[in-house]
Amino acid sequence: MEMSKADNMLSILWLLRSGKRVTAQQLADDLEIHVRTVYRCIDSLCASGAPIIADSGPNGGYRLLGEFIDSPLLFDAEEQKALVHASVFAREAGYPFTDALARAVDKLKRYTNEEQLERINRHSSGLAVIQTPTDARELELLRQLEEAAARGESLNMDYAKGPELTSGNRVLDPYGIVHWKGKWYIVGFCRLRQEVRSFRVDRIVRLEAADTRFERPAAFSPRDFLLRSLLPNSADDKTQVIVRLQGHEHALNELCKHWLFGHALVERRRPGEVLFKLEELPLKTYVPYFLLPYGRSLEILEPQMLIDRMAEVSLQMFKHYEVMQIKIRKDGNRR
């Protein structure tokens, strides 16, 4: 791909920052451009005030004035490190434009001197992120959603919902994609329901362009919308229930770091006791499953409704595994 004149000029500056003398031919070879293009770019850089010095003779070539080499052209060392680390996080989170991101990091590394490159590599090798891989199909969906959101183009979407993951069609005005707890979501206006909703990207069956366009509300934040839909509404105390727990300090500490309980925390009382405010619906649906892994290290003091629901869920799990246990024993006896 042919580079623009501005790209060539910037690339020449990067190469000259090594502090070594570089001939026009060497610059042309490195950038895969004609030597005449190098001369034109250097003339333009000098006219713009870049302190490029031309040394004649057998060991001559172009170099930059010392003070200019020491000053950051675009990014200083800390900024370079931060960009490389951010690229690691983005890649592992399933960022849909990893190819472009990799090219940007490669370009950053290409136009550094040996000392800078060694420092970048040292920092990048010291950071690792472990995430569930995002498959190629989901990455393509994320690219389509992000680009449609940026262009203001509606999409026809087949979406699998419910316990049976039944597919249904709707037209969506995509407002933005959000990464939350290892999953990607698309937030947008659903024309079927006539309201803003969020959808898990891994449950999208198919996407194609619709013949309509939209404008996203100026003050709308997909991130804030998704958080409001997941977290308890602290402004509406009438719908909230006091949850009082006691238990081992390490268990309570971990629970208070949980994305839901951390937001719902009211106070840490005497050692071994904590108070939360949560809405009734989560207490009856998914909250018991968050508490189950803590086993007997936690005790529910109130409400009674949550104690009853925990007992019900635990009994269901016991029966489920009891049936499994009996079946395995029967199969073993047959052998």
CATH code at position 203: 2.30.30
Q: CA-CA-CA-CA torsion for 275, 280, 283, 284, nearest 10 degrees?
A: 160
Provide the edge-to-edge strand list for the sheet that holds 166-180.
Answer: 195-200, 183-190, 166-180, 153-161, 204-213
CA atoms within 13 A on the CB side of 21: 10
Residue 111 lies in a domain: yes
Look at residues 174, 203, 229 and tell me which one is the last residue of a structural domain: 229
Work out the average pLDDT over 173-183. Answer: 93
Query: pLDDT class for 233, splitting at 50, 70, 90?
Result: low
Look at residues 27, 50, 70 and tell me which one is the last residue of a structural domain: 70
Residue 328 lies in a domain: no
Predicted local distance difference test score (pLDDT) of residue 229: 86
Query: pLDDT class for 271, splitting at 50, 70, 90?
Result: confident
Work out the average pLDDT over 280-296. Answer: 93
More confident residue, 309 or 19: 309
pTM, two decimals, is 0.69
Query: Do 23 and 36 fall into the same domain?
Result: yes
Measured distance CA(304)–CA(152) in Å, rounded: 49
Q: Are 22 and 63 in contact (CB under 8 A)?
A: yes
CATH code at position 36: 1.10.10.10
Residue 324 lies in a domain: no
Question: Which SS3 state, helix, strand or coil, does residue 61 take?
Answer: strand
Predicted local distance difference test score (pLDDT) of residue 335: 61
DSSP 267-302: EE-STTEEEEEEEHHHHHTTHHHHHGGGGGGEEEEE
Query: pLDDT class for 321, splitting at 50, 70, 90?
Result: very high
Query: pLDDT class for 312, splitting at 50, 70, 90?
Result: very high
Domain that holds residue 288: 232-317
Query: Do 199 and 261 fall into the same domain?
Result: no
Question: Which SS3 state, helix, strand or coil, does residue 74 take?
Answer: coil
Work out the average pLDDT over 225-250. Answer: 83
Query: Do 179 and 204 fall into the same domain?
Result: yes
Residue 107 lies in a domain: yes
Look at residues 90, 124, 158 and tell me which one is the last residue of a structural domain: 124
Predicted local distance difference test score (pLDDT) of residue 213: 95
Predicted local distance difference test score (pLDDT) of residue 237: 64
Helix (H) or strand (E) holding 35: helix 35-47
Predicted local distance difference test score (pLDDT) of residue 1: 42
Work out the average pLDDT over 240-259. Answer: 94
Is residue 40 predicted with pLDDT exceeding 70? yes
Averaged pLDDT score across all residues of the chain = 87
Predicted local distance difference test score (pLDDT) of residue 188: 96
Is residue 302 predicted with pLDDT exceeding 90? yes
More confident residue, 49 or 262: 262
User: For residue range 75-125, what is the model confidence (pLDDT) as tens digits?
Assistant: 777 888 888 888 888 888 888 998 888 888 887 777 677 787 888 888 888
